[in-house]
Each structure stands twice: as structure tokens, then as C-alpha cells.
């Protein structure tokens, strides 16, 4: 599978967000490998987007990675317990990112299940299976991603995104981003993009 190159990420965030759908996230640990397909994303357009952590040019230790080159992982914690994976986009100094909101397992689902529930996938109940990786915090738990992965270069050989399934534009659904009621008019932007799993 061909790894995405830097210039894939160095484009308009809305374009990158839509084109991440169907791509595969790959995590390698020694001889072990986890692969998931991206099915749900949200775009955050930097200093002009009231829903973005860098709105108005805000630059903090937490958001520092967003100001760097595209193609890095921006991972932060919410509610003091859930990590969220974002992909930095656009040119350096334009702090934009795409939140990965939903994935489906492609390879090594049992390892993800142990990460999430400490038991194999076939022992999960229907509710657990239906809600396995359909939220940012669930994804990071399933992939064992945490603050130590913040700033990780996604052109590495151990944590990267590669070509996956071809998605036609008419397969992509649009919606409002979730849990950003504070963002005034930006709360109504249709910058969530998703496909059927």
C-alpha cells in the first residue's frame, strides 16, 4: 500500500478532509500491525474558524504542532480522559487540521478490541461492536494512541496513512461538526464529511 506523501496534506483542509475518506491508517509495532479505514472526518480551518483551537491566531504549547508542517499528528485530550487524533494540513504557519472521527477495522481487530475492552472482538456484545470506533476517543483507545504520539510525523514507517479504497464524490455525506455549539456561525458549517462504513 502506498504511503501518502507530504504534498497530499499540504493542500486546502476541506479537500484533504474529503480525500482522507477511505484511506488507511497504519500502526506498526515490531512485527504487529493495525490497519483501519477512515470513514468520518471534520475539517478545522485555522485562525478564521471559530471552532478551531487556533482561532484568532491562538498559539499555545498544546496547539504548537498545528503551526508546523502538514502531515503531522495533532493529538490532544478532552474531558481529561479521551484522546483525539487530528492530521495537520495546509502550509506551515497556517494552523489547520482534520479530526478523525470514525474508522472501521481492516486488520488486527482483536488487538484493537483488547485495547478498548480487554477482551477479543468475538466476546463483545452488539452495542460494543456497533460503537467500536465511531468517535474520536474510541479511535485513539482502539489504536492505543495518546499524548506521546502528538507531533508524530505521518511519513514515518511505524505510524502513517496510505492509499485505501477509492471513494466517489457522490458517496460522501456532509453534516455539521459535532459538539461545537460555542462556535457561533462556524457551528453551522457543513465541514463534517463521512461515508457508509
Residue by residue, DSSP assigns the chain as -PBPPHHHHSS-HHHHHHHHTT-EEEEEETTEEEEEEEEEEEEE-GGG-TTSTTGGG---TTTGGGGS-SSBEEEEEETTTEEEEEEEESSTTS-EEEEEEEEEEEE-HHHHHHHHHSS-GGGS-HHHHHTSS-SHHHHHHHHT--GGGTT-BTBSSSEEEE------GGG-EEEPPSS-GGGGGGGG---EEE---
| pLDDT in the model for residue 26 | 97
pLDDT in tens, 156-167: 999 999 999 999
Residues in CB range of 179: below 8 A, 6 or more apart: none
Domain ranges of the chain: 6-194
The listed CATH number (3.10.300.10, 3.40.47.10, 1.10.3720.10, 3.20.170.30) that belongs to domain 6-194:
3.10.300.10
| pLDDT in the model for residue 30 | 78
Q: What is the residue-averaged pLDDT of the chain?
A: 96
pLDDT in tens, 44-96: 999 999 999 999 999 999 999 999 999 999 999 998 889 999 999 999 999 99
Tell me the mean pLDDT in the region 126-132: 96
| pLDDT in the model for residue 29 | 85
- Entry pTM: 0.96
Cα R_g (the chain), whole angstroms: 16
| pLDDT in the model for residue 106 | 97
Amino acid at each position: 500500500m502506498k504511503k501518502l506523501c507530504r504534498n497530499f496534506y499540504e493542500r486546502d483542509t476541506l479537500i484533504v478532509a474529503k480525500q482522507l475518506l477511505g484511506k488507511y491508517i497504519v500502526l506498526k509495532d515490531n512485527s504487529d500491525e493495525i490497519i483501519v479505514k477512515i470513514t468520518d472526518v471534520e475539517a478545522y480551518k485555522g485562525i478564521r474558524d471559530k471552532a478551531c483551537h487556533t482561532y484568532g491566531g491562538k498559539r499555545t504549547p498544546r496547539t504548537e504542532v498545528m503551526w508546523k508542517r502538514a502531515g503531522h499528528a495533532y493529538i490532544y485530550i478532552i474531558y481529561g480522559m479521551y484522546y483525539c487524533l487530528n492530521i495537520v494540513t495546509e502550509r506551515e504557519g497556517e494552523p489547520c487540521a482534520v479530526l478523525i472521527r470514525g474508522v472501521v477495522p481492516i486488520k488486527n481487530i482483536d488487538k484493537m478490541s483488547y485495547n478498548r475492552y480487554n477482551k477479543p472482538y468475538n466476546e463483545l456484545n452488539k452495542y460494543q461492536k456497533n460503537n467500536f470506533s465511531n468517535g474520536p476517543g474510541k479511535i485513539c483507545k482502539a489504536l492505543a494512541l495518546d499524548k506521546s504520539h502528538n507531533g508524530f510525523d505521518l511519513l514515518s514507517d511505524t505510524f502513517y496513512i496510505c492509499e485505501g479504497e477509492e471513494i466517489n464524490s457522490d458517496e460522501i455525506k456532509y453534516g455539521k461538526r459535532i459538539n461545537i455549539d460555542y462556535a457561533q456561525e462556524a457551528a453551522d458549517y457543513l465541514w463534517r464529511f463521512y461515508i457508509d462504513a
